[in-house]
């Protein structure tokens, strides 16, 4: 009998029990899937308006945290894509499943830990006060009764309220607008993460001769990658990748490039 005629015969005539055929078929499909499946793909939500941590440059999201999570992904064996989201919607997008994780200078706090899971800390940053170069203020408490800019929902907003009382802060969804208002003297000061202050006060060509940082850091903050509660698989991958890049010197190189 020609071999192709076997394809027309019922399985019983082939003396090949149906359950064995099913088993072979399942094993074959499983092998095919394992051969074709690529690395895990992870979508990252970020507020790309927070230099040097993350911002848009020629329509591409760049920055310290972008390079950091990319290096973590490479070390842990997964792929990333980035999605720019406004700060006020970034956590609701995570809850809806628009992306798998948030990497956007998010401080690890007990309140947030009650709702989300965090990776191990990848950066310790504090809130610092920025004022106009001619300002005589030496610390945040000297700005009482005057408008002080903060990014909505951040540790900086809490720090201003604790130091000056509620009502003195002016909230922003985008930190660049806050610095522009300070530049035009619509604010008496601005409280922002130390890395961002460094970018605007020391590196920005437009602003570097207009601002100064005053006082000591107001907070001690640890940044972490945010995932949904219970997403232990992704959290384990991120922590493993972070550990690897800290051990092999990659982390230090990225930090030196963006924050020193």
Burial class (CB in 10 A: 0-12, 13-18, 19+), 94: buried
* CATH classification for the domain delimited by 40-124+222-259, as one of 3.40.50.300, 3.40.190.10, 2.60.40.10, 3.40.50.150: 3.40.190.10
Q: Is 5 helix (H, G, I), strand (E, B) or coil?
A: helix
Position 248 scores a pLDDT of 98
Q: Which residues pair with 45 in a beta bridge?
A: 83, 102
pLDDT in tens, 180-230: 999 999 999 999 988 889 889 988 889 988 999 999 889 888 999 999 999
Query: What is the 8-class DSSP label of residue 47?
Result: -
CA distances to 68, 73, 79, 183, 224 from 44, in Å: 12, 11, 10, 32, 13
Q: What is the CATH number of domain 127-219?
A: 3.40.190.10
Q: Quote the CA–CA distance of 192 and 182 in Å, as a whole number.
A: 12
- Extended beta strands in the chain, E state: 40-46, 49-50, 54-57, 60-62, 78-84, 101-102, 116-118, 123-125, 127-132, 148-151, 169-172, 189-193, 211-214, 221-223, 226-228
CA distances to 3, 106, 212, 250 from 116, in Å: 60, 11, 35, 27
Cβ contact 158:227 at 8 Å: no
pLDDT band at 38 (very low <50, low <70, confident <90, very high): low
Position 31 scores a pLDDT of 46
Q: Tell whether omega for the bond before 137 is within 30 degrees of 0, i.e. cis.
A: no
Query: What is the 8-class DSSP label of residue 63?
Result: S
Q: Which residues pair with 211 in a beta bridge?
A: 132
Q: Quote the CA–CA distance of 53 and 44 in Å, as a whole number.
A: 14
pLDDT in tens, 100-141: 999 999 989 999 999 999 999 999 888 999 999 999 999 999
Domain with CATH 3.40.190.10 in the chain: 40-124+222-259, 127-219
């Amino acid at each position: 009998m020609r071999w192709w005629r076997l394809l027309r015969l019922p399985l019983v005539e082939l003396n090949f029990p149906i359950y064995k055929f099913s088993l072979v078929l399942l094993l074959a499909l499983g092998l095919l899937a394992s051969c074709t499946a690529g690395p895990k793909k992870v979508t990252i939500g970020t507020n790309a308006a927070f230099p040097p941590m993350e911002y848009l440059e020629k329509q591409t999201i760049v920055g310290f945290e972008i390079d950091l999570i990319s290096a973590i992904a490479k070390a842990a064996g997964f792929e990333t894509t980035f999605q720019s989201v406004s700060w006020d919607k970034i956590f609701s997008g995570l809850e809806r499943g628009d992306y798998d994780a948030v990497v956007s200078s998010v401080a690890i706090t007990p309140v947030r830990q009650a709702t989300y899971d965090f990776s191990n800390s990848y950066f310790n940053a504090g809130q610092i006060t920025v004022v106009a170069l001619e300002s005589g203020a030496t610390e945040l408490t000297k700005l009482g009764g005057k408008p002080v800019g903060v990014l909505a929902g951040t540790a900086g907003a809490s720090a201003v309220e604790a130091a000056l009382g509620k009502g003195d802060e002016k909230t922003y969804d985008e930190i660049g607008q806050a610095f522009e208002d300070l530049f035009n003297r619509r604010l008496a000061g601005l409280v922002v993460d130390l890395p961002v202050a460094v970018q605007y006060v020391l590196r920005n060509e437009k602003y570097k001769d207009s601002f100064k940082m005053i006082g000591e850091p107001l907070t001690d903050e640890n940044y972490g990658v945010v995932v949904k509660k219970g997403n232990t698989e992704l959290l384990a991958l991120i922590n493993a990748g972070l550990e690897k890049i800290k051990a092999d010197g990659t982390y230090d190189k990225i930090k030196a490039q963006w924050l020193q």
